[in-house]
Homo-oligomer: A and B are copies of this chain.
Amino acid sequence: MTDRIQLTPIGLLHTPFAHPRNLPIQSCFAPDVEGRIELYPAYINGLRDLEEFSHLILIYHFHRSPRTELVGRPFLENREHGIFAIRSPHRPNHLGLSVVRLLSIKPGILTFSGADMLDQTPLLDIKPYVSYFDHPPEVKNGWLDKHFRNGIPPENTRS
């Protein structure tokens, strides 16, 4: 089954990053960088009670990625890993995911911190981050664990 699935953006992400070269590698490396969701008017009624959550899962389209790769070399590494073992934008279907901290909600505009995506990124979904669902105990982080001594991000990821 390879049926195509059509998605329509529900809004746009506004961030300080006009170009990939300035982008934080991940949201956790840019905890204070603010972004803004412009939610299209048709979806505003879907926000009810979202303000009671501290964090959001944003699913968006890596709209500036020009290609699909099956392996890639992450910033922190000298060697390649499979595309499903890294968070590269150059992946099949070009779906991006970030966990961000919700700061405020006004009708149609949500502000958040932890922005790590390009300005003008098309937003596909907002889900509430639920620690009971989304935070498994005893996680092994593959090739990443060696880069985080005691959970501290590596030197070259800090701004």
Chain A residues in contact with chain B, CB under 8 A?
Answer: 1-10, 12, 26-28, 40, 43, 45-50, 52-55, 57, 59, 61, 70-71, 80-87, 91-93, 95, 97, 99, 101, 122, 124-136, 138-144, 148, 151, 153
Contacts and interface: CB of A to CB of B under 8 A. Distances in A.
Contact of A50 (B46, B85, B132): B85
Nearest to A128: B85
A99 B78 CA distance: 28
A86 B122 CA distance: 21
Interface of A is mostly: mixed
Contacts of A148: 132
A153 to B, nearest CB: 7
